[in-house]
Amino acid sequence: MTDLNERNAGRNAAPEGYAPRPGYYRPALYSRFVSAMKYMLPVIAGAVLVIVVVYSGMFDREARKINQTGNTSPQSQDIQMANPKVTGVDTSGRPYVVTAEKALQSNDQPGIMKLDKLQADLKLDDKGNWVSASSPAGVLNTDTHMLALSQKFDVYTSWGYEFHGTSADIDFKQGTLRSREPVQGHGPSGTLAANSMAADQNSDMIHFEGDVKVTVFPAPQARKEK
């Protein structure tokens, strides 16, 4: 699942020659668009949850036997793993691959781990559908079960939807994801943008706040009838 930006380029823009009129609203399309967004966001937490499970025991000095591939090396009394890769299946039996360029654990704060260039790919079915999540950097606290993505996160799907955020705080214990900076998503059915958002897996709710803008595109058949 490489070159995701190129793969999705042009796939999510509004159809050529079409400009949605202000206030345009079609319940079925809106519902489909929101449902796609609701599915994508928990995938972010689900993908990086794999990292939590793996990395929380990865650096155990008493048990060096791990199932991941990668090279460990001490550096200034910190423990570093280069190019870790994790493969497996989720609770639904779907295969995933999680990679990182580097994982670094401080000897002074063993519960804090710095992760560079995270990439998580999840195969959804046998029809070739997939979801891919990535972030250039993250700080994982295994004591509080929190992951802070301080730069950005991106999610892409095979069906043309993508979601982007500037930063996010993920609480795996509570099952929540919070972004206090602008977020945006777009795909074949429309676009969404807001100044902040909060997602809760337990209640299956996502709240967008601050200058929320949603544009819903009509279905191709509806455009032909115009």
pLDDT at 64 over 50: no
- Whether 148 is in a domain gets the answer yes
The pLDDT value recorded for residue 58 is: 38
Angle (CA) 86-92-94 rounded to 5° is 45
- Position with higher pLDDT, 213 vs 32: 213
Average pLDDT over residues 23-42: 51
Read off the pLDDT of residues 113-127 as tens digits, 9 standing for 90 and up: 788 888 878 787 888
The pLDDT value recorded for residue 40 is: 54
The pLDDT value recorded for residue 10 is: 43
DSSP H helical segments within the chain, as ranges?
4-8, 27-58, 220-225
What tokens does 201 get?
């897996």
- Whether 33 is in a domain gets the answer no
- Whether 9 is in a domain gets the answer no
The pLDDT value recorded for residue 181 is: 92
The pLDDT value recorded for residue 105 is: 77
Neighbouring residues of 31: CB distance < 8 A, sequence distance ≥ 6: none
- Summary mean pLDDT of the chain: 67
- Whether 124 is in a domain gets the answer yes
Instruction: Assign residue 159 the CATH number of its domain.
Output: 2.60.450
The pLDDT value recorded for residue 180 is: 92
Confidence of residue 77 (pLDDT cuts 50, 70, 90): low
Average pLDDT over residues 1-30: 42
Number of domains in the chain: 1
Read off the pLDDT of residues 36-59 as tens digits, 9 standing for 90 and up: 555 555 555 554 444 444 443 433
- Whether 53 is in a domain gets the answer yes
Distances (CA, A) of 128 to 46, 79, 83, 123, 131: 19, 38, 26, 7, 10
Q: What percent of the chain has pLDDT over 70?
A: 58
Residue 98 · residue 120 · CB < 8 Å: yes
- Highest mean pLDDT among 8-12, 104-108, 150-154 belongs to 150-154
Distance CA(118)–CA(47), nearest Å, equals 10
- Whether 3 is in a domain gets the answer no
- Whether 50 is in a domain gets the answer yes
Neighbouring residues of 3: CB distance < 8 A, sequence distance ≥ 6: none
The residue segments making up the domain with residue 101 are 38-175
Q: What is the SS3 assignment for 58?
A: helix
Lowest mean pLDDT among 9-18, 102-111, 200-209: 9-18
- Whether 114 is in a domain gets the answer yes
Read off the pLDDT of residues 121-162 as tens digits, 9 standing for 90 and up: 878 788 888 878 788 988 878 778 787 888 888 888 887 888
